[in-house]
Amino acid sequence: MAAHQKSETLSREAKLQALRERPEVPVLIIGGGINGIGVLRDLALQGLDALLVERGDFGSGASAASSHMLHGGLRYLENGEFRLVNEALHERDRMLLNAPHYAQPLRTTIPIFRWFSGLFNAPLKFLGALDSPGERGALVIKIGLTLYDFLARHGRTLPRHEFRLRAAALREYPRLNPALVCAASYYDAWMPSPERICLELALDAEASGSGARALNYMRALDAGADAVLLRDELSGETCRVTPQVVVNAAGPWIDQVQAHLGRAGQRFIGGTKGSHLMLDNPELLAALGDSEIFFENEDGRIVLLLPFFQRVMIGTTDIRLDEPDEAVITDAEIDYLIAMVGRVFPDIAVERSQIVFSFSGVRPLPYSDAGADGKPGQISRDHSIRSLPATAERRYPIHALIGGKWTTFRAFAEEATDLVLRDLGRQRRVDTKNSAIGGGRGYPTGAQERAQWLRERQHETDLPAERLATLFERYGTRAADFARFIAAGQDRPLAHAPSYSQREIECMLRYEMVARLDDLLLRRSLIAMLGGAKRALLTEMAALCAQTLGWTAARQAQEIEHAASILRDKHRVKL
Ligand SMILES: Cc1cc2nc3c(=O)[nH]c(=O)nc-3n(C[C@H](O)[C@H](O)[C@H](O)COP(=O)(O)OP(=O)(O)OC[C@H]3O[C@@H](n4cnc5c(N)ncnc54)[C@H](O)[C@@H]3O)c2cc1C
């Protein structure tokens, strides 16, 4: 890894030892999803020594379950959430500039089956006279997209929307349902590897020189007047830290963490489950072209079909669920999502046997009665912070981060960081609006610059051009560190996932805070997501972990079983 990271990033054991020796931390962040990690990165850039603890791996909660969109939220306009849409559009555009390796423009096409339906929904909703969503017609979508373009006009990075009548739409997408009346296309952005963005932000925070640390597999258990009890989920060892300020960034688990902190009683979160499928269906992939297809079913629920490398992602559902640990796709959801494909591509067969992976998670939405009677799509997607002052029984203030889209994490983190800085009597010294993330730093934007960048890496490492291009696509400019590491030893492709190599995995093991086998399969790489996880690969990767992390044979066997059970039970992967 980059020289500065090598010197600043401590091993997990070294971080634990530092905590045993010095349990005082100015700021404790509980939860290593995108919002908690966003706060850690922001605090670190302000020079603050903060500790983030995550009970699983970084980005393994709601942040791993998103529809992978960086978007303004066209649909939220109808709920009158202009502030949120405006902020999200700005943040989307910032991500395209700050993390160009993981945030990519996405053309989105809406097939439209009616001209006028839903015309009165939006004004009636503002007046509180309509509470059931329905399918929108062309006119309402036109108004929405015009407003969307208007809100995105500052520093425009993406093209404006366009409408096509039926014949033109069918020329472009010949497999679309011919019952459509027209189609609209507009641009948003998507992120193939949200978990890697979480990781890179944590690495950036640790490399900032502020002393900020991120510990995965570390659970906040309980709290006393001055201290919070943490448990290492790998060893069972517990320790106490004494924070001056606590940030509760536990997403859908926020109320559970509040209860651990002795603040039970108030209900902040009322989440809804959303599930997605990954399909191996080349016919459907070809029918999508380069666009996401985005539409509403008859009851107004959103469905999206996203080309995802050689797979198609289908999402999503919106079902009230109070226990986030129980989120897993059900048979009924699978049937529903498959049926939805038939609505827009009626002559493309989709079979259950084509499902290579599925994922499910709970949206951390603010608690509201709106979703209790079956209309969860109407609960606000906006974020807020509930600040609880220090008391005689609890001598540190708590800031609880409620809601928050993936897209708006930077703005949300900025808001939380400003509250923490105020608590500690400190001033903001760095604005994160233009702070590049990980492999987005020094990113060569044009084709010529990219070719030049790759030539220089080839000159330096002698790796084949094609290999360097793959590394660049996977890691942005951090590919330079991967390439140097790979070139410094004997390398060979993995036998059971040949697009990855042994030294590439070893590089992750050394420098990317990998603690468990499933971290590699589910969050450092896209192997499982794209349907590449198999038992033989688990064994092969566990052996690499043994070499680099010193796992015993018993630990390897345990990790293989653990990863296999997650893949089977949470993602319906047949191993
Ligand atoms: C189905 C679905 C689709 C979505 N689609 C989009 C989209 O397309 N675009 C978009 O912008 N947003 C989307 N979102 C919203 C977005 O993913 C979430 O709002 C965001 O990821 C929330 O991040 P978070 O950090 O607040 O929560 P999380 O990512 O859940 O992080 C909280 C973390 O806290 C940890 N934790 C819990 N208890 C403890 C404890 N005791 N000690 C330590 N750690 C603990 C958990 O393990 C978890 O990792 C979607 C969400 C879902 C579920």
What would the mean pLDDT of 314-334 be, rounded to a whole number?
94
Q: Phi and psi of 329, rounded to 5°? A: -70, 140
Portion of the chain with pLDDT greater than 70, in percent:
93
What would the mean pLDDT of 48-64 be, rounded to a whole number?
98
Q: Which of 331, 354, 378 is where one domain is finished?
A: 378
What would the mean pLDDT of 40-59 be, rounded to a whole number?
98
CA 174–ligand 1 middle distance (angstroms): 37
**Do 151 and 112 reside in the same domain of the chain?**
yes
Cβ of 274 below 6 Å from ligand 1: yes
Domains of the chain: total: 3
**Do 326 and 356 reside in the same domain of the chain?**
yes
Tokens at 543, concatenated: 């052996």
pLDDT band at 298 (very low <50, low <70, confident <90, very high): confident
CA 514–ligand 1 middle distance (angstroms): 20
**Do 426 and 559 reside in the same domain of the chain?**
no
**Do 567 and 543 reside in the same domain of the chain?**
yes
**Do 202 and 252 reside in the same domain of the chain?**
yes
Tokens at 9, concatenated: 């990033």
Cβ of 30 below 6 Å from ligand 1: yes
Question: Of ligand 1's atoms, which has the minimum distance to the CA of residue 69?
Answer: 8
CA 238–ligand 1 middle distance (angstroms): 25
pLDDT of residue 124: 43
CA 153–ligand 1 middle distance (angstroms): 29
Give the mean pLDDT of the chain: 92
Q: Whose CA is nearest to atom 37 of ligand 1?
A: 250
442: in domain: no
For the chain, first and last CA: distance in Å?
33
85: in domain: no
Spatial CB neighbours of 358, under 8 Å, sequence gap ≥ 6:
275, 276, 277, 278, 329, 334, 571, 572
pLDDT of residue 5: 44
- pLDDT tens column, 187-201: 999 999 999 999 999
Cβ of 194 below 6 Å from ligand 1: no
Question: Of ligand 1's atoms, which has the minimum distance to the CA of residue 221?
Answer: 41
287: in domain: yes
**Its pTM surpasses 0.75:** yes
Cα-based distances in Å from 127 to 79, 120, 123, 124, 439: 11, 11, 6, 5, 47
pLDDT of residue 374: 53
Q: Which of 333, 360, 378 is where one domain is finished?
A: 378
Q: Phi and psi of 355, rounded to 5°? A: -75, 120
**Do 553 and 453 reside in the same domain of the chain?**
yes
CA 409–ligand 1 middle distance (angstroms): 11
Question: Of ligand 1's atoms, which has the minimum distance to the CA of residue 361?
Answer: 53
pLDDT of residue 128: 42
72: in domain: no
Neighbouring CB atoms inside 10 A of 184's CB total 21
Say if residue 393's pLDDT is above 90: no
Say if residue 117's pLDDT is above 90: no
229: in domain: yes
**Do 148 and 286 reside in the same domain of the chain?**
yes
Say if residue 8's pLDDT is above 50: no
Cα-based distances in Å from 480 to 2, 231, 350, 447, 502: 8, 36, 41, 17, 17
Question: Of ligand 1's atoms, which has the minimum distance to the CA of residue 38?
Answer: 25
Cβ of 62 below 6 Å from ligand 1: yes
CA 38–ligand 1 middle distance (angstroms): 12
SS3 category, 232: strand
> What is the domain range of residue 553?
449-571
**Do 275 and 178 reside in the same domain of the chain?**
yes
**Do 367 and 390 reside in the same domain of the chain?**
no
84: in domain: no
Portion of the chain with pLDDT greater than 90, in percent:
80
**Do 161 and 287 reside in the same domain of the chain?**
yes
Q: For residue 564, give the CATH number of its domain.
A: 1.10.8
pLDDT of residue 382: 83
pLDDT of residue 6: 42
- pLDDT tens column, 261-272: 887 778 899 889
pLDDT band at 324 (very low <50, low <70, confident <90, very high): very high
CA 33–ligand 1 middle distance (angstroms): 5
95: in domain: no
Q: Please give the angle made by the CA atoms of 351, 325 and 50, to the nearest 5 degrees.
A: 125
Q: What is the C-alpha separation between 195 and 523, in angstroms, rounded?
A: 5
- pLDDT tens column, 62-77: 999 999 999 998 888 8
Cβ of 250 below 6 Å from ligand 1: yes
Output 346-355 pairs: Cβ under 8 A, ≥24 positions apart: 346/177, 347/175, 348/175, 348/281, 348/283, 348/284, 348/287, 349/283, 350/279, 350/281, 350/284, 354/279, 354/280, 354/281, 355/277, 355/278, 355/279, 355/280, 355/572
Which of 60, 405, 518 maximizes ligand 1 atoms within 8 Å of its Cβ, making it the mutation to test the pocket? 405
Q: Which of 335, 363, 378 is where one domain is finished?
A: 378
CA 180–ligand 1 middle distance (angstroms): 36
**Do 293 and 357 reside in the same domain of the chain?**
yes
Q: Which residues pair with 350 in a beta bridge?
A: none
Cα 468 to chain centroid distance, Å, stands at 26
- pLDDT tens column, 507-523: 999 999 999 999 999 99
Say if residue 440's pLDDT is above 90: yes
Cβ of 118 below 6 Å from ligand 1: no
Q: What is the C-alpha separation between 232 and 246, in angstroms, rounded?
A: 19
494: in domain: yes
Query: DSSP characters for 332-355?
Result: HHHHHHHHHHHHHSTTS---GGGE
**Do 335 and 224 reside in the same domain of the chain?**
no
CA 326–ligand 1 middle distance (angstroms): 14
Q: For residue 109, give the CATH number of its domain.
A: 3.30.9.10
pLDDT of residue 121: 53
Which of 60, 66, 278 maximizes ligand 1 atoms within 8 Å of its Cβ, making it the mutation to test the pocket? 66
The single-letter code of the amino acid at 60 is S
SS3 category, 187: strand
Q: For residue 389, give the CATH number of its domain.
A: 3.50.50.60
pLDDT of residue 116: 74
Which candidate, 277, 432, 270, 253, places its Cα nearest to that of 353?
Answer: 277
Which candidate, 246, 247, 228, 214, places its Cα nearest to that of 23?
Answer: 228
Cα-based distances in Å from 137 to 127, 193, 575: 20, 33, 44
